[in-house]
Amino acid sequence: MRKLSAKIIPKLAPKLVPKLKKLKLISLGFCQIFLYLLIGEFLSTLIPLPPAILGLIACCGACLLLQKIPESLDIASSFLLKNMAIFFIPYVVTITLFWPALADYWLACLVALFISTLVTLSLTSIVSDKLIERTTQESTKRSRCHAAMDDKK
């Protein structure tokens, strides 16, 4: 038995160790995220905002204090964000529960939601795209001016 394990372990180790390391990092990151959530939960008794949003602010604030993102937090958060859409599915499914309440007006509501969402999306994206363009142009102009002034000197 000991001989067998002595044979197998060196073979498996190079594959297993990085995976275990990643697992360790992810669980460490999850601990941090739940800690921020706890902080948010506490803060929500003082500030009238949902705990998750306060936790988000706490997470960002902690990164600001540390001046960096811990690797464990980075890995755990990207794992969660990649799968974020899944967490909405139960909510979407339960829409069918409340559908009777909307029975008389569902078409009007749907049309209103559709149009207003599309209008908001297109207007805000166009305006911000234009503004960003202008900001970048100004900054390049300014840097060109600086360069020209430097040339004159």
Partner 1 sequence: MPSATMLLMLALNLLITYTVFNLSSKLYHYCKHFPLIHPLILSALVLVALLSVFDIAIEDYQQNSQVIMMMLAPATVALGVPLYKNLAVLAKYKSAIFIPLLLGAIISPCSALLLLWLFKVDSSLLLSMISKSITSPIAIDITKLVGGIPAIAVIFVIISGIIGAALATPLFSLLAIKHDISKGLSLGIASHAIGTSSAVQISEQCAAFSVLAMCLNGLLTTLVIVLYSLI
Quick one: which of 1, 4, 92, 103 contacts partner 1 (CB under 8 A)? 92
Q: Which of 153, 131, 134, 133 is nearest to 145 (CA)?
A: 153
Residue 122 makes contact with partner 1 by CB under 8 A:
yes
Quick one: which of 22, 134, 144, 146 contacts partner 1 (CB under 8 A)? 134
Q: Least distance in Å: CB of 86 to partner 1?
A: 5
Residue 73 makes contact with partner 1 by CB under 8 A:
yes
Residue 82 makes contact with partner 1 by CB under 8 A:
yes
Residue 55 makes contact with partner 1 by CB under 8 A:
yes
Quick one: which of 126, 142, 144, 148 contacts partner 1 (CB under 8 A)? 126
3-state class of 114 per DSSP? helix
- Cβ–Cβ < 8 Å for 122, 115: no
Quick one: which of 94, 147, 149, 151 contacts partner 1 (CB under 8 A)? 94
CA–chain centroid gap for 61, Å, is: 15
Residue 76 makes contact with partner 1 by CB under 8 A:
yes
Residue 110 makes contact with partner 1 by CB under 8 A:
yes
Find the part of the chain contacting partner 1 (CB under 8 A) among 3-11, 17-25, 87-95, 145-153. 87-95
Residue 13 makes contact with partner 1 by CB under 8 A:
no
- Cβ–Cβ < 8 Å for 29, 72: yes
Per-residue CA distances from 10 to 3, 4, 17, 23, 93 (Å): 12, 11, 11, 20, 49
- Cβ–Cβ < 8 Å for 40, 53: yes
Token pair for 67: 């001046």
